[in-house]
Every structure is written in C-alpha cells, then in structure tokens.
C-alpha cells in the first residue's frame, strides 16, 4: 500500500476536507549501478573543482547562479529558505473549470486524494467529489509540496478524487515557438480519405492493460539470460523502407490493418 506523500486539507469555500495525497504509480524501471567492468566494484563520483582539479569538501559547496559567463552569484541555503513559500497544509480551491478546457500539456504529476481518518472527513470528501461529478467540473487550486508552490487540478475519477500538479503557463512551450510548427500544408483530399480509413481500421476502446513496456521486458530478459551464463547475440534493427508514394503506403496500411485486426502490444 502506498504511503502518504502529503497530508492536509482541501479548502472549499467554508468547507475543509481533511485529505492525504498518495502515489498513483509504481516505479518499474530497471535500475543499474555504474561498476568496474572487471571487478564489479561500484563506481563513486567525487565533487571536483573545475579550476583546481581537487576534490572539494561538502561544507564548501554552495549554490551558484551564472548570470553571465564567468560571473557567478552565490546564494546561501538560508537565503533560499527565506524565498520559500509559506508552508501550508491546505489546497486552496480558486476556480472550477470544465476538464476539456485543460490541455494535457499542462499536467505534471498525479496523486490519489484519500480522506483522512477524521470525523466527517469522508462525508465532506464525498460531497466535493459528487458535486464536481454532477457539474462536470474540476477544481483548480494551489498548495505547497515540500518547498515549492504547485498549481493543481482536482478531478473525480473512479469514485475517488485525483490531483494532478500542473505546469504554469510560462513553462509550457507553444507550438508556434517551435521551428517548423504549425504545419500549414493542406492535406490532399484523396490521401486524407485514406488516412481517415486507416484511423477507422485501427480505432478501438482504450484499455491501458493492452499496452506493455516491451523495452523493460527485453532488458529483463537480457539480465536473466546473462545471469545464467548465456551469451547475448546483438542483432541490428531492421531498416524501415523510405516512404516514396504516400497514397500507396496508406492503401497498404489500411489493408494490413483490416487484415490483422487491432494491434496490441505483446
């Protein structure tokens, strides 16, 4: 069972909902240590001065901000703490908006919101969740997690409330600021129809269980085989043929999709 990452309350007008934030994901990543290939001994990284090449004691290491080349402003830990937002254990709801109005680009990390074991907590929790479900709205608020103030969206999901921290507007890169975007080229009618047929042929209901982490499985297989003393044969990946005739490629893709049905991850 995941442990609480943060505890406090949701401030909803004059109503306070005592809650805890719990993780929504489990780390399944395969982690490696850097080791000496010959002995297997762990490799340690040292803090070395770029100027002298000597190792620097930890108590001499400071926070430096480079304003211009060679000009560094030193900021102490105490000065940084003075700039920290006021520690609060409240998620202050500032507005309610339709979920469809929020572009997924603005989402960051997700948490489950669980009611605390206090009198009336579950009732207040259910009230907020049910009201948002009925109105089709999500709550936008702010709270302090560790030393950073976060913008957050609270939404009803699977009979519970989920919270997603969000990027502020100036942290999100707009398509218009990316080289080559947006693409103004108009799609030819014939190719567009074939592309729509391909989408229809591959259309299915979303089920996250259909999609597995194939890379993690492949890495785990390599680890298991090597641990048994087996040799690994590394094969070059097949080269993809260059698309020359777009219409022909679309027609073949539609035929393959209809023939093979909906593709799912192994």
Domain-terminating residue out of 121, 140, 171: 171
Structure confidence by residue, pLDDT tens digits, 171-183 = 999 999 999 999 9
Residue 138 and residue 21 share a domain: yes
Ranges of residues in the chain with a pLDDT under 70 are 1, 85, 87, 240-244, 261-266
Residue 214 and residue 124 share a domain: no
Establish if 54 belongs to a structural domain. no
Establish if 36 belongs to a structural domain. no
99 in Cβ contact with 136 (< 8 Å): yes
Phi, psi for 52 (deg, rounded to 5)? -95, -20
Establish if 202 belongs to a structural domain. yes
How far apart CA 157 and CA 180 sit, in angstroms, is: 37
Residue 10 and residue 140 share a domain: yes
Domain count along the chain = 2
C-alpha triplet 56, 61, 63: angle, nearest 5°:
150
Identify the CATH number of the domain in which residue 121 sits: 2.40.290.10
Phi, psi for 127 (deg, rounded to 5)? -65, -50
| Domain span holding position 165 | 4-27+84-171
CA gyration radius, the chain: 26
Establish if 227 belongs to a structural domain. yes
187 in Cβ contact with 250 (< 8 Å): no
Domain-terminating residue out of 121, 142, 171: 171
Q: What is the pLDDT of residue 242?
A: 67
- Of residues 239, 10, 260, the one with CA closest to residue 132: 10
> Would you give the DSSP letter of residue 102?
S
* pTM (predicted TM-score): 0.78
Establish if 122 belongs to a structural domain. yes
How buried is 131 (Cβ within 10 angstroms: 0-12 exposed, 13-18 middle, 19+ buried)?
A: middle
What is the DSSP pairing of strand 160-166 with strand 90-98?
A: unpaired
- Scan for tokens 């409240």, then name that residue: 90
Residue 152 and residue 203 share a domain: no
Establish if 103 belongs to a structural domain. yes
Which residues are CB-neighbours of 218 under 8 A, at least 6 positions away?
Answer: none
Residue 221 and residue 98 share a domain: no
Establish if 250 belongs to a structural domain. yes
């Amino acid at each position: 069972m995941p442990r609480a990452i943060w505890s406090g309350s949701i401030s909803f007008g004059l109503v306070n909902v005592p809650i805890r934030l719990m993780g929504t994901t489990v780390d399944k990543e395969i982690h490696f240590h850097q080791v000496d290939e010959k002995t297997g001994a762990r490799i340690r990284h040292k803090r070395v001065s770029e100027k002298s090449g000597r190792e620097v004691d930890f108590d001499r290491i400071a926070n430096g901000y480079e304003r211009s080349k060679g000009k560094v402003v030193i900021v102490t830990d105490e000065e940084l703490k003075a700039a920290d937002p006021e520690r609060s254990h409240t998620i202050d709801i500032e507005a309610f908006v339709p979920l469809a109005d929020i572009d997924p680009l603005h989402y960051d990390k997700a948490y489950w919101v669980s009611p605390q074991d206090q009198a009336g907590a579950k009732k207040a929790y259910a009230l907020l969740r049910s009201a948002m479900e009925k109105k089709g709205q999500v709550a936008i608020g702010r709270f302090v997690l560790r030393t950073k103030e976060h913008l957050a969206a609270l939404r009803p999901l699977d009979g519970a409330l989920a919270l997603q921290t969000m990027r502020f507007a100036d942290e999100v890169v707009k398509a218009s600021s990316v080289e080559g975007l947006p693409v103004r080229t108009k799609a030819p009618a014939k190719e567009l129809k074939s592309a729509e047929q391909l989408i229809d042929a591959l259309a299915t209901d979303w089920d996250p269980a259909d999609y597995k982490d194939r890379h993690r499985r492949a890495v785990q297989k390599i680890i298991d085989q090597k641990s048994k003393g087996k040799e690994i044969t590394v094969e070059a990946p097949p080269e993809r043929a260059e698309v020359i005739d777009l219409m022909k490629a679309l027609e073949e893709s539609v035929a393959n999709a209809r023939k093979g049905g909906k593709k799912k991850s192994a």
